[in-house]
Chains A and B, each alone.
Chain A
Amino acid sequence: MSQTGPEMVTLTIDGRQVTVPKGTPIIDAALQLGIDIPHYCYDKDLSVVASCRLCLVEIEKVPKLQPSCSTPAAEGQVVYTRSDKVLDARRMQMEFLLVQHPLDCPVCDQGGECKLQDYSREHGAEDTRFHYRRRTFPKPDIGPFIDLERNRCILCSRCVRFMDEIAGNAELVVVNRGWKSHITTFQDQPLKNEFAGNTIDLCPVGALTSKVTRFRTRVWELKSKPSICSLCSVGCSIDLQHRNRTREILRVLPRLSEKVNYRWICDIGRFGFDQFNSDNRLKKPAIRINGDLQETSWANALGEIAKKLKVIVGARGGAAAGGIIGPRPSNETLFLFQQFFREILKSNNVDHRTEFIPGQQDDGFLTSIALRAVNQPFEEIRKASAVILLGTDLPNELPILHLQVRERASAGIPVYLAHHRPTRLDSVCSGVWGYRPGFETPFLADLLKKTAQKMESLLSQEMEETISSFLPGAENEAAGVSEQQVNELANILQQSNGATLLVGESMFTGKAGPVNVRLAAELAHLLSSDVGGPPPLSLLPLHNNSRGAADMGCYPHRGPGFEPIEKPGRNTAQMLEGCIDGSLQALILFNADLLNEYPDRDLARRALEKVPFLVVADAYPFSTIPYADIALPLSTHAEEDGTYTNVDGRIQRALAAVAQLEGALTGVQAILALGERWGAGWRQVNPSRIFEMIARAVPHYKDASWTDAGKGRCVAKPVNISLFQTSLSLAASSLASSYKPPLPDYPFRLVRGRFLFDDSGEKRFAPSLVSRREECWAEMHPGDAKKIGVHEGVMVSLEGVLGSIRLPARISNAAAPGCVTVLGRYDDKPVNGLTAEDQPWIKVQL
Chain B
Amino acid sequence: MPETLHNQETRKIRDQQPGKIDEILRRFPQKKSASIPLLYLAWDIYGYISPEAMIEVAEILDVSPAYIQGIVSFYTMFPLKMTGNYHIEVCANISCHLTGAQEVLKTLENRLGIHCGERTGDGRFSLQAVECLAGCSSAPCMQINGKEYTHLTPEKVIEIIDSLD
Tell me the A residues contacting B by CB distance below 8 Å. Answer: 164, 169-177, 184-187, 421-422, 424, 426-427, 782, 792, 810-814
Contact = CB atoms under 8 A, between A and B. Distances in A.
B2 A186 contact: no
A812 B4 contact: yes
A172 B66 contact: yes
Nearest to B65: A186
Interface residues of B, number: 18
Contact of B69 (A164, A186, A813, A814): A186
Contacts of B69: 173, 175, 184, 186-187
A810 B4 contact: yes
Nearest to B67: A170
Contacts of B66: 170-173, 184-186
A186 B66 CA distance: 4
Given A173-B67, A177-B74, A426 B5 contact: no
Given A186-B54, A186-B64, A426 B70 contact: no
Contacts of A173: 64, 66-67, 69-70
Contacts of A427: 1, 62
A80 to B, nearest CB: 37
A226 to B, nearest CB: 36
B3 A174 contact: no
B54 A426 contact: no
A421 B1 CA distance: 11
Interface in B62-112: 62-67, 69-70, 73-74
A175 B1 contact: no
B51 interface: yes
Nearest to A792: B5
A215 B66 CA distance: 29
Given A185-B66, A186-B64, A187-B69, A814 B74 contact: no
Taking each of B3, B51, B69, B70, which has the highest tally of chain A beta carbons within 10 Å of its own beta carbon?
A: B70
Contacts of A782: 6
A63 to B, nearest CB: 29
Contacts of A164: 67
Contact of A812 (B2, B63, B65, B74): B2
Contacts of B3: 812-814
B41 to A, nearest CB: 20
B4 A814 contact: yes
25 contacts: A164-B67, A169-B64, A170-B64, A170-B66, A171-B64, A171-B66, A172-B66, A174-B70, A175-B69, A175-B70, A176-B74, A177-B73, A184-B69, A185-B66, A186-B65, A186-B66, A187-B51, A422-B2, A792-B5, A811-B5, A812-B4, A813-B2, A814-B2, A814-B3, A814-B4
A176 B80 CA distance: 12
Nearest to B62: A427
B1 A424 contact: yes
Contact of B63 (A170, A422, A424): A170
A173 B58 CA distance: 14
Contacts of A172: 66
B64 A426 contact: no
Given A186-B65, A427-B62, 4 more contacts: A170-B67, A172-B66, A175-B70, A187-B65
Interface of B: 1-6, 51, 54, 62-67, 69-70, 73-74
Nearest to A193: B64
B2 A176 contact: no
Nearest to A169: B64
Contacts of B2: 421-422, 426, 812-814
A179 to B, nearest CB: 14
Contacts of B70: 173-175
A169 B67 CA distance: 10
Nearest to B68: A186
B82 to A, nearest CB: 17
B73 to A, nearest CB: 4
A172 B70 CA distance: 9
Taking each of A175, A184, A424, which has the highest tally of chain B beta carbons within 10 Å of its own beta carbon?
A: A175
B46 to A, nearest CB: 15
Contacts of B5: 792, 810-812
A169 B66 CA distance: 10
A286 to B, nearest CB: 45
Contacts of A424: 1
The 4 closest A-B pairs by CB, nearest first: A422-B2, A814-B2, A173-B70, A175-B73
B143 to A, nearest CB: 21
Nearest to B6: A782
Contacts of B65: 186-187
B27 to A, nearest CB: 23
Contacts of A187: 51, 65, 69
Contacts of A171: 64, 66
Contacts of B62: 427
B55 to A, nearest CB: 8
A171 to B, nearest CB: 5
A173 B74 CA distance: 11
B102 to A, nearest CB: 19
B62 to A, nearest CB: 7
Contacts of B54: 186
A629 to B, nearest CB: 47
Contacts of A422: 1-2
A172 B63 CA distance: 12
A268 B6 CA distance: 30
Contacts of B73: 175-177
A427 B1 CA distance: 7
Nearest to A170: B64
A186 B72 CA distance: 12
